[in-house]
């Protein structure tokens, strides 16, 4: 069962650094399992293993058709010529492409056990994108039946993968995942995503994978079939996928396409090779174009494998450093479909925040580059904290536009104002209007990462209306009667909109524009006097309001 086979060591977003224990060794995850055609490998399995891939994949159905009983004697490791862990598929891809396979479901599972597979898969029925709901429901039930039947076998230490099917029928995916979660599988998998990835429908892929992940045991390992382009690997990992497989490295090489972390290049259109892998370091684009086709295909496949391996290492290190979001966001900027996928991903931000670490060591700053950065777990968690952990102590709310210096109470203009006139902070509840966090009460200034961040002005420009709505909600939710806003770069339309929104709710508002921030920083006394005068004015007005008799 998966509890004995998988260990989570670190988490970032939904991404996990883990260890998958097989009977032939430990596999560090997240990782890709390159798919090898046992009859005609483009790159020899031993070479792929030497590159650094700890887990290889091949197709037990092709072995069954090509080798029959001989494979039981030689074993899958003997056929591939490797001694590390081997993952075998069951023929489900062939079933999806050709509509049938010439083997019984239980028979192919038994065969995988007999040829010594370390990880084997049930012969599930992949849900095609165009499959009607009623038919998909029947196919899901049949896959569930096959999983239950396979788990009754003596697997002799082989980890059995239970695939979640249902395709784009999201309620069906959730049902299948919940049913499989009750079964003692060695791993779980998301099945049937190949069509979505071929059509670059990564938005729908997010819905599929996240639905499965949220309905399966969190600590269980999850595999994604057919995911093999470096551009989307950070997304897969950020959704809680631990292993993925693909023959893309070989398929792309046959079309003379070179993978990069940001997309795909055609050799015919390239003048300089795009990386420093051993292939690109030893050969020029001109040399590759002129060499015999078979050698060229092999070298492009090797390049693709090196690029995939580099991206996997980059992902794992990003998890260690707590920078998976930055990597995910950078990849989203490489293709519109990836940006749409990220927009869909942030819809699950509340769930992601429940698993993302509150703190990590060593402490590192958090970067915010776009509006979508505001859906990071740190921001979601902060907004929850604002709802329940911050109480109003005064009637007047003093709000400062965020300053370049942090922490706000220990550097910059706010610190200088506190030294100049502490009374203005006793007369009001004070907070910072923050581009990524919307509001940071000064009493939370020292809480990580509320002073340990850098945000592009782009964040504010694109999320201006959201920030204004958050500020308005907080003021009304806490019951403030008056607001003083101190600002130096905020657009007048933002200030005007906030003022009008507060007036509509009968909250008094005064804005104090600072023409020269550096001058105010070096001489805060005049600004402190203006703030004090504004606070006293609002105190008098709110007192007059309270004293006024109610209308008859």
Catalytic residues, by residue number, are: 89
Task: Give the up-direction half-sphere exposure of residue 314: CA atoms within 13 A in the CB hemisphere.
Answer: 19
CA dist., res. 136 & res. 539, Å (int): 65
Angle between helices 105-114 and 60-67 (to 10 degrees): 80
Q: Is 546 helix (H, G, I), strand (E, B) or coil?
A: helix
Angle between helices 202-215 and 336-345 (to 10 degrees): 30
CA dist., res. 196 & res. 232, Å (int): 12
User: Which of 264, 269, 257, 215 has its CA nearest to residue 240?
Assistant: 215
Give me 360's structure tokens.
Answer: 């990590």
Give me 133's structure tokens.
Answer: 């709901």
Q: For the chain, percent helix, then strand, then coil, each to nearest 5? A: 50, 15, 30
* Three-state secondary structure string covering 173-225: HHHHHHHHHCCCCCEEEECCCHHHHHCCCHHHHHHHHHHHHHHCCCCCCEEEC
Task: Give the up-direction half-sphere exposure of residue 478: CA atoms within 13 A in the CB hemisphere.
Answer: 26
Give me 467's structure tokens.
Answer: 């920030």
Phi, psi of 274 (to 5 degrees): -90, 5
Give me 127's structure tokens.
Answer: 């849900």
Which residues are bridge partners to 483 per DSSP? 397, 509
Q: Is 440 helix (H, G, I), strand (E, B) or coil?
A: strand
CA dist., res. 78 & res. 68, Å (int): 14
Whether the bond between 318 and the residue before it is cis, its omega within 30 degrees of 0, is no
Residue showing tokens 């074993």: 75
Give me 350's structure tokens.
Answer: 């509340």
User: Which of 263, 214, 264, 205 has its CA nearest to residue 235?
Assistant: 205
How far is CA 143 from each of CA 124, 125, 152, 296, rounded to the nearest angstrom?
A: 5, 6, 15, 41
User: Which of 531, 542, 474 has its CA nearest to residue 507?
Assistant: 542
| Cβ–Cβ < 8 Å for 265, 257 | yes
Give, rounded to a whole angstrom, the gap between the first and last alpha carbons of the chain: 73
């Amino acid at each position: 069962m998966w509890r004995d086979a998988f260990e989570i060591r670190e988490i970032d977003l939904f991404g996990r650094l883990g260890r998958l224990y097989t009977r032939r060794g430990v596999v560090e995850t997240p990782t890709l399992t390159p798919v090898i055609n046992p009859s005609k490998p483009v790159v020899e399995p031993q070479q792929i293993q030497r590159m650094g891939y700890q887990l290889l994949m091949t197709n037990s159905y092709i072995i069954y058709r090509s080798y029959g009983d001989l494979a039981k004697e030689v074993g899958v490791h003997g056929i591939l010529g490797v001694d590390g862990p081997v993952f075998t598929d069951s023929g489900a891809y062939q079933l999806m492409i050709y509509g049938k396979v010439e083997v019984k479901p239980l028979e192919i599972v038994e065969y995988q056990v007999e040829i010594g597979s370390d990880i084997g898969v049930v012969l599930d029925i992949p849900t095609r994108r165009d499959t009607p709901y009623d038919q998909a429901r029947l196919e899901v039930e049949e896959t569930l039946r096959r999983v239950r039947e396979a788990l009754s076998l003596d697997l002799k230490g082989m980890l059995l993968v239970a695939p979640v099917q249902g395709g784009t029928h999201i309620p069906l995916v959730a049902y299948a995942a919940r049913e499989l979660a009750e079964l003692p599988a060695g791993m779980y998998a998301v099945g049937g995503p190949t069509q979505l990835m071929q059509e670059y429908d990564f938005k729908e892929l997010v819905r599929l994978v996240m639905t499965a992940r949220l309905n399966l045991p969190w600590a269980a390992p999850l595999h994604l079939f057919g995911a093999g382009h470096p551009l989307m690997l950070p997304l897969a990992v950020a959704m809680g996928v631990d292993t993925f497989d693909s023959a893309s490295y070989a398929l792309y090489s046959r079309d003379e396409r070179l993978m990069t972390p940001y997309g795909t290049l055609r050799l015919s259109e390239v003048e300089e090779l795009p990386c420093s892998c051993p292939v690109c370091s030893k050969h020029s684009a001109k040399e590759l174009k002129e060499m015999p086709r078979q050698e060229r295909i092999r070298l492009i496949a090797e390049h693709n494998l090196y690029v995939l391996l580099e991206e996997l290492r980059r992902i794992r290190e990003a998890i260690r450093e707590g920078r998976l979001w930055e990597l995910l966001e950078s990849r989203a900027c490489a293709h519109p479909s990836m940006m749409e996928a990220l927009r869909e991903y942030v819809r699950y931000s509340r769930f992601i925040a429940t698993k993302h670490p509150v703190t990590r060591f060593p402490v590192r700053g958090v970067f915010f580059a776009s509006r979508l950065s505001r859906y990071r777990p740190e921001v979601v968690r902060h907004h929850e904290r604002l709802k329940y952990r911050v109480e109003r102590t005064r009637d007047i709310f003093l709000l400062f536009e965020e300053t370049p210096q942090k922490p706000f109470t220990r550097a910059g203009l706010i610190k200088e104002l506190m030294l100049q006139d502490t009374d203005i902070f006793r007369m009001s509840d004070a907070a910072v209007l923050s581009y990524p966090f919307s509001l940071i009460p000064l009493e939370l200034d020292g809480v990580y990462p509320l002073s340990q961040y850098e945000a592009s002005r782009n964040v504010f420009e694109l999320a201006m209306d959201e920030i204004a709505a958050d500020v308005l909600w907080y003021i009304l939710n806490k019951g403030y009667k008056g607001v003083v806003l101190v600002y130096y770069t905020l657009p007048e339309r933002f200030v005007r909109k906030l003022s009008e929104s507060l007036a509509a709710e009968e909250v008094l508002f005064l804005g104090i524009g600072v023409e020269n921030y550096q001058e105010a920083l070096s001489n805060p006394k005049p600004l402190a006097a203006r703030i004090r005068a504004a606070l006293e004015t609002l105190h008098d007005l709110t007192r007059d309001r309270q004293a006024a008799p109610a209308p008859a």
